[in-house]
Amino acid sequence: MPQCELRVVEHREPAPEHVELLLEAPRLAADLTPGQFAHVWTPGSLRRPISFSRATPDGRVGLLFRVVGAGTRWLAERRVGDRLDVLAPLGKGFPTPEAGPVLLVGGGVGIPPLFVAAQRWAATHPTDVVLGARTADALVMADDFRALGLDLSLTTDDGSLGERGRVTGPLARWLARTDGGQVWACGPTPMLAAVAQLVGEERPCWLAYEQRMGCGVGACLACVVPGVGGDGQPEWVRVCHDGPVFSSRRLWWAGAEGEA
Ligand SMILES: Cc1cc2nc3c(=O)[nH]c(=O)nc-3n(C[C@H](O)[C@H](O)[C@H](O)COP(=O)(O)OP(=O)(O)OC[C@H]3O[C@@H](n4cnc5c(N)ncnc54)[C@H](O)[C@@H]3O)c2cc1C
Ligand code: FES
């Protein structure tokens, strides 16, 4: 398992309660697959999983996170020159898309891994982007996507930026006007369930799933969620090792819908 110490070379605060740390990591920047994550040591017993938010040509990778508890608060206090102990890259990321249009759908702190997907594939696949958050303050990375020349549809729950409502509105319109194509999404579980339901069985739909984690490498079973086996029967899948990116058909959605 690749354990390494990575030096913080930039500390950004892109939004209130959100921090992005840029780390010097040339090999990771060249090799990582969008959707893979770093399992980062923080004081206490468990590491914290954070998706990579960017990979730059000058050999940096980003971790963009919302400060929600002790682990992310400690990470938010890291400064240029500090070193992070990380296991990375972990998990299975998004597959290279098939030919044809791609729609990226990101919600809240599910947006960052989709930016790595856009960096990798927007030049070779017609790419549309839908980003959503509860409020304008929590909608991160829109300017990064724009800098790649992509058109964005933005939604916020309170209408403070873009269209008032959920990402499912622009998603439904894209599905109605686009023949074929494929959808890549990351966000809260109810959002992923709604995306899977709207996209249905006809088009590829790949989802980056978030779950509390322990080891991060498939050994402790802390992260299991119900999935669908090859025979169509329920089976447990490990988010850290079998995912975090899954085909929507591989996950068992009953009970996950909630509010998208
Ligand atoms: C594969 C993966 C990739 C992730 N990528 C990112 C990312 O790019 N940016 C980001 O901001 N966050 C990301 N997360 C979530 C991040 O790991 C948690 O927010 C973090 O571990 C919280 O640690 P803490 O000690 O600050 O908070 P804790 O004290 O552990 O928890 C604070 C609150 O956050 C909730 N929480 C903690 N972990 C999770 C989780 N995994 N899913 C849902 N709720 C959780 C807890 O239930 C609690 O309410 C990712 C999670 C996974 C599994
Ligand atoms: S976190 Fe240990 S098996 Fe996934």
pLDDT, tens digit, for every residue of 186-213? Answer: 999 999 999 999 999 889 999 999 999 9
Going by C-alpha positions, the residue among 237, 126, 241, 260 that lies closest to residue 187 is 260
Determine which residue's CA is closest to atom 9 belonging to ligand 1: 65
Q: In this model, does residue 156 exceed pLDDT 70?
A: yes
Q: In this model, does residue 11 exceed pLDDT 90?
A: yes
Does any ligand 1 atom lie closer than 6 A to the CB of residue 71? yes
Q: What is the Å distance from ligand 2's center to 8 Cα?
A: 26
Cα–Cα distance measured from residue 96 to residue 115, given in angstroms and rounded to the nearest whole number: 14
Does any ligand 1 atom lie closer than 6 A to the CB of residue 72? yes
Q: What is the Å distance from ligand 2's center to 189 Cα?
A: 18
Does any ligand 1 atom lie closer than 6 A to the CB of residue 36? no
Residue type, 97: P
Cα–Cα distance measured from residue 25 to residue 11, given in angstroms and rounded to the nearest whole number: 15
CATH class of 3-90: mainly beta
pLDDT in tens, 88-140: 999 999 999 999 999 999 999 999 999 999 999 999 999 999 999 999 999 99
CATH class of 102-250: alpha beta
Domain borders along the chain are 3-90, 102-250
Does any ligand 1 atom lie closer than 6 A to the CB of residue 65? yes
What percentage of the chain exceeds 70 in pLDDT? Answer: 97
